[in-house]
Amino acid sequence: MTPIPSFIYKKKNQITMVLFVPLFALLFILIYKPLDFDTLDEKLLPWLNIPYDLKITLLSIVIVLIGMAVAAVSRMIMTAYSKRHALSYVKYISWVALEILIMVLIYTIATYFLSDLSGVGDLTTVFQNTLIKSVLILLIPYVMSYIYFIWQERVGELKAIRKRLEEDENALQKAYIQICDEKGKMQLSVRREKLVVIESADNYVCVWYLNGEQPKKMMVRTTLKQIAAQLSDAHIMRCHRSYMVNLHHIKVLRREKEGIFVELGIEGIPDIPISKTYADSISHWLFTEEN
């Protein structure tokens, strides 16, 4: 048998139903007076020196509170049962039907013994009338509760989906580097690990990146200074007044008479010089940071 969704009987929803259903039923009873409490013997509870209508109201409240207690106990048992056994639709509907039946029996007994019997008929008639009216009264809040629970669950699912999409979008944005021109218009989007070197060329920069294993380049009208500002949080660092390099691609750091150079080990891309201005920061990253 198909189990019902677990959110139907989770603790928060159980408490909501235990409170909402009886309160809705009480409001409905007080407004429309569908039960047979209007046949209440006016001589009943003579020690209560209150108007007849108020007696009916108090009796309705007591009956509904008893029904609330029945629902609370029933839901506690259901929660304990659901931890060990799966609740199918048949079991759940049967459980709810039993709850309503117990409430109906309580209403029937109260109506039969507290009312003018000539006005309500025998016990079977009272039970039938109470059953029909109680089902109609309780059906509305039960259905409203389930609609609310389903709506609430769908809203939660949509929020979770939206959060995952935002996380995926953020992860995607972090995985790619946007190269923009001098007007801020994006000209190239490339994965961080694929970007290799950015070289200054007058009013342009030459962006070297890997397409598969082959190096490619693209000219973008901007300055190396602007690119450095765009990539301030990336591992693409300035190493020379004319170069920026992806530190993850450095294979060899080599010192010569002409200065310090890094080898990237990528065919077609020459060794990149490192000026004294940036040598310390590059060396610090290479030898102390976790790559």
- DSSP class per residue in 108-137: HHHHHHHB-HHHH-SHHHHHHHHHHHHHHH
Residues 6+ away with beta carbon under 8 Å from 125: none
Residues 6+ apart with CB under 8 A from 126: 36, 108, 111, 112, 120
Question: What pLDDT was estimated at residue 48?
Answer: 64
**Domains defined along the chain, listed by start:** 6-170 (no CATH), 181-288 (2.40.50.1020)
pLDDT of 38 reads 53
Give per-residue pLDDT as tens, 96-105. 889 888 888 8
pLDDT digits over 184-225, tens only?
A: 898 998 988 899 999 998 889 999 999 888 899 999 999 988
pTM of the prediction?
A: 0.56
pLDDT value, residue 121: 58
Catalogue the E-assigned strands of 158-278: 176-180, 186-191, 195-201, 204-211, 214-220, 236-240, 243-246, 252-256, 259-263, 272-274
**What are the pLDDT digits (tens) for 156-177?**
999 999 888 888 777 776 788 8
Whole-number percent of the chain with pLDDT over 90: 16
Q: Sheet containing 259-263: give its strands across.
A: 252-256, 259-263, 272-274
Q: Where are the alpha helices (DSSP H) in 83-219?
A: 89-114, 117-120, 123-175
Q: Are 133 and 35 in contact (CB under 8 A)?
A: yes
Residues 127-147: what's their mean pLDDT?
84
Q: How far apart are CA 116 and CA 129, in angstroms?
A: 15
Greatest extent of the chain over all pairs of C-alpha atoms, in Å: 118
Q: How confident is the model at residue 120 (pLDDT cuts 50, 70, 90)?
A: low
Instruction: Please give the Cα distance from 80 to 204 (Å, whole number).
Output: 71
CA-CA-CA-CA torsion for 246, 251, 253, 256, nearest 10 degrees? -110
Terminal Cα distance for the chain, rounded: 53
User: What pLDDT does residue 61 have?
Assistant: 81
Task: Please check the confidence at residue 119 and state whether its pLDDT lies above 80.
Answer: no
Position with higher pLDDT, 289 vs 279: 279
> Own/partner pairs for 63-67, CB < 8 Å, 24+ apart?
63/106, 63/107, 63/110, 64/22, 64/23, 64/25, 64/26, 64/29, 65/22, 66/106, 67/22, 67/25, 67/103, 67/106, 67/107
Going by pLDDT thresholds of 50, 70 and 90, the confidence category of residue 232 is low
> pLDDT at residue 2 above 90?
no
Tell me which amino acid residue 278 is.
Y
Convert the pLDDT of each residue in 44-79 to its tens digit. 556 666 776 777 777 778 878 888 888 889 888 988
Average pLDDT, whole number, for the chain? 82
Say what the pLDDT of residue 272 is.
Answer: 92
Question: 242 by DSSP, 3-state: which?
Answer: coil
Let me know: does 17 contact 95? Beta carbons within 8 Å.
no
| C-alpha separations of 113 from 4, 80, 121, 189 in Å | 39, 35, 11, 82
